[in-house]
Structure 1
């Protein structure tokens, strides 16, 4: 697909940014579409996603990742931030966060070498010096001391905290992007006696009817679910 074809998605992207309250990010639309083009172009070689049509990638990957940006911005209040995207895959949401927050440092972590290779390639092509890829097993790495540790449809809540929690800074926060509200996973997490869901934000992803939510996780001794 030519680059001209991708510009056809710009009205839909601008409408999505407005719906998400991100009108200040309209200047980043071309960069977001350039990422979409990178994803579509390299998908066959790297097997990054089972979604093949770029119009579906736009909604299910780009819009889905954009939906968490306002929440994370509110949490950090624009401060210098290190984000660790666990099981990043095609750089989702890491690259999207890197585009929207050029003052944040993003580390996209994945155990699959071809996926981190794509993230490096895409970050270079898009001119994102704030995004880097790290290849390896999350649980075996030394702590990244991240302000935000995030995952998108990566693992159960229990597995997420077990393998990723040591990567957060002392005042850092774990965020898990999920589909339908995961009642069973929340009960299993709370049953560990060590972690709890601090907050649950329902995400309204433009043009997507499926349910999405963002869960903030914290040590159980300091938080109760609300």
Structure 2
């Protein structure tokens, strides 16, 4: 049956097949997430693929390779990370199963999706992983009122908005201090533009490609100058 929840072993095998193995405990948490997402997806249409395997191959694959990419970046200890347009928790929730640095906020304006994310995070108990229900432009102001630092060390975006517009949008939100510069990581289907096409105030950082089921995808980081 297409919509059944995966076993831990099935998830472990699927990860190994794409060349990014996971530990047994990580496979268990990923299986829980995928099981909940396929269940909720039947009623709410949270993501396009209907089966756990379709979700894994088309969406979760990004999170597995993203964990390695972020681990290689020069981020500060305990970074503040914002995931814009988090949707049903992709890439953020599978990412946090493998990469748990700092405080991570899943930012989503749609209530049904934030309800799902809070429900599944209640099961997974991932450290430093939070849901923000509201507009992206409001997140730092509201977090600051609750005692969280006022600028982000890392912002993640997959199709939140075109990257050129995104850079203008987030520039005031990213930490810009002499000894601590924030960055954004773009998840894309295309490689980054040449350095001459990067807007003023930003510089291109690390770039990586990785295999998806039907194509090659990319991560690229841009750092505040």
C-alpha separation between the residues in 1 aligned to 2:103 and 2:39? 26
Say whether the 8 Å CA contact 2:4–2:51 is kept in structure 1: no
C-alpha separation between the residues in 2 aligned to 1:142 and 1:70? 27
Q: Report the alpha carbon displacement of residue 180 of structure 1 after superposing the two structures with TM.
A: 2.3
C-alpha separation between the residues in 2 aligned to 1:162 and 1:209? 32
1:141-185, Cα deviation, whole Å (9 max, x unpaired): 3355222211123221112222233332232211010012254xx
Corresponding residue of 2:160: 154
Q: Report the alpha carbon displacement of residue 121 of structure 1 after superposing the two structures with TM.
A: 1.0
Given candidates 87, 94, 111, the residue that maps to 1:113 is: 111
Gap runs ≥5 in structure 1: none
Q: Report the alpha carbon displacement of residue 14 of structure 1 after superposing the two structures with TM.
A: 4.2
> What is the TM-score normalised by the length of structure 2?
0.81
C-alpha separation between the residues in 2 aligned to 1:83 and 1:148? 5
1:130 aligns with 2:135: no
Say whether the 8 Å CA contact 1:10–1:33 is kept in structure 2: yes
> What is the TM-score normalised by the length of structure 1?
0.80
Secondary structure, aligned partner of 1:123:
helix
Secondary structure, aligned partner of 2:182:
strand
Corresponding residue of 2:144: none
Q: Report the alpha carbon displacement of residue 58 of structure 1 after superposing the two structures with TM.
A: 0.9
Gap runs ≥5 in structure 2: 142-149
C-alpha separation between the residues in 2 aligned to 1:218 and 1:136? 25
RMSD (Å) for aligned C-alpha atoms: 2.7
C-alpha separation between the residues in 1 aligned to 2:89 and 2:173? 18
Say whether the 8 Å CA contact 2:192–2:220 is kept in structure 1: no
The 10-residue stretch of structure 1 (209-218 or 193-202) with the greater mean CA deviation from structure 2: 193-202
Corresponding residue of 1:12: 13
Corresponding residue of 1:200: 207
Q: Report the alpha carbon displacement of residue 84 of structure 1 after superposing the two structures with TM.
A: 0.9
Q: Report the alpha carbon displacement of residue 76 of structure 1 after superposing the two structures with TM.
A: 4.5
1:96-148, Cα deviation, whole Å (9 max, x unpaired): 22211345321000121211111111111222242111111112333552222
Aligned residues: 211
Corresponding residue of 2:214: 209
